[in-house]
Homo-oligomer: A and B are copies of this chain.
Amino acid sequence: MVLQEAKKEFIAAWGSFGSNWGINRTMAQIHALLMISSEPISAEEVMDNLHISRGNANMNLRELINWGLVNRTILRGERKEFFTAEKDIFKVTRIIARERKKRELEPMLKFLESISHVEGDTNDKDIKTFTDTIAGIKKLGEQTDKSLDKLIKAEENWFWGTMIKLLS
């Protein structure tokens, strides 16, 4: 396969993979484009490459920067901004873990705590089913939270080491 074609397919696939996971297609595609580019890319180039509008490119680039997955770069002699993405997939994984933990898991745990105690007879079948289910989810969430902490703080070696240990 030729590079240009492979790039195009990867960008398309990453986009649809992302939208399967609640990440907007364009944002995932821009991320893919930047990850497989050896050089910083301008907003203009992103627009041309993905056939999207200036506004769309700008908004999604900003969001990627918010996530910490993309950085702005100034290129000497150039007036406009350029963008680069973190290419190390382990670092990308850590960043996504950190952000989703902060944005989703932590609020969810707070919420579960807030509904975990209900008034009434502890032996009541309905109350028991409810509190047991919530407690189980909470326990899973708390342990996931702690595991993510380890992952986020981890060295690259720890990551691959743990992955391999899990398989053995």
14 more CB-based (< 8 A) A-B contacts, given A1-B117, A37-B126, A147-B166: A1-B115, A2-B119, A3-B119, A3-B120, A3-B127, A6-B118, A7-B130, A9-B111, A36-B133, A38-B125, A87-B136, A89-B136, A90-B140, A143-B163
A75 at interface, CB cutoff 8 A:
no
**Residues of chain A whose beta carbon lies under 8 Å from any beta carbon of chain B:** 1-3, 6-7, 9-10, 13, 17, 19-22, 35-38, 87-90, 93, 104, 108, 111, 114-115, 117-120, 125-130, 132-134, 136-137, 139-140, 143-144, 146-147, 150, 160, 162-164, 166-167
The answer to whether A133 and B35 touch (CB under 8 A), given A2-B118, A17-B108, A90-B140, is yes
Name A's interface SS: helix
Chain B positions within 8 Å of A87 at CB level = 129, 132-133, 136
Chain B positions within 8 Å of A166 at CB level = 143, 146-147, 150, 162
Chain B positions within 8 Å of A163 at CB level = 143-144, 147
B1 touches A119 (CB 8 A): yes
Q: How many copies of this chain does the complex contain?
A: 2
A142 to chain B, nearest CB (A): 10
Chain B positions within 8 Å of A36 at CB level = 129-130, 133-134
Closest 5 CB pairs of A and B: A89-B136, A38-B129, A143-B163, A6-B115, A147-B166
- A147 vs B118: C-alpha distance in the bound complex, in angstroms? 37
